[in-house]
Every structure is written in structure tokens, then in C-alpha cells.
Amino acid sequence: MVRFLFVIFIIILILFILKNRSKKINNNNSNFYKKLIFLTVFLGIIFLLATSGRLIIPQFLQILKITLPFLTKFIGI
């Protein structure tokens, strides 16, 4: 897990350097790298949640299973 975070950090650092270099050349590439950095962070977080899902996702589903009868009672189904 720590290695994965280190790899994500290195990728973001490389993209940040490329973004700074592209500012000097063309402004449109700078926006592209900003979106790419955001996408990398977002996919990294999603991957972390998916791999540690044995703790997070089942608890979320259990909460949903418990609250579903109350929800249907309030809706009136």
C-alpha cells in the first residue's frame, strides 16, 4: 500500500513538472496536464478504496441494508 502511494506521488510529480514545462510552450497543454493530475489522484483514491474494500464496502452495504426498510416506510411503498 505504501509502495502504491509512493508510485502515485512520483507520477503526480512527473505530471506537475511536465505541466510547468508546457506553460512556457503552449497554454492548452497546461490545462490538459491539470486534468491528467486530477484524474490520476481520483483513480488512485478509487483503487485504494477498491483494494481495501474488504473493510469499507461491506460496511457501506450493511448500512444500506439496515436503512432500506426505513426508507421504504417513509416513501410509502
* Residue 48, pLDDT score: 75
Rg over alpha carbons for the chain, rounded to the nearest Å, is 20
**Residues of the chain with confidence (pLDDT) below 70:** 1, 23-30, 52-57, 76-77
Task: With beta carbons less than 8 A apart as the criterion, state whether 7 and 48 touch.
Answer: no
Q: How many CA atoms lie within 13 A of 5 on its CB side?
A: 4
Domains of the chain, by residue range, sit at 2-75
Query: How confident is the model over 53-68, as pLDDT tens digits?
Result: 566 667 777 787 888 8
Sign of CA dihedral 37, 41, 43, 47: positive
* Residue 64, pLDDT score: 79
Percent of all residues in the chain with a pLDDT value above 90, rounded to a whole number: 0
Q: Give me the numbers of helices (H) and strands (E) for the chain, helices first please.
A: 3, 0
* Residue 18, pLDDT score: 78
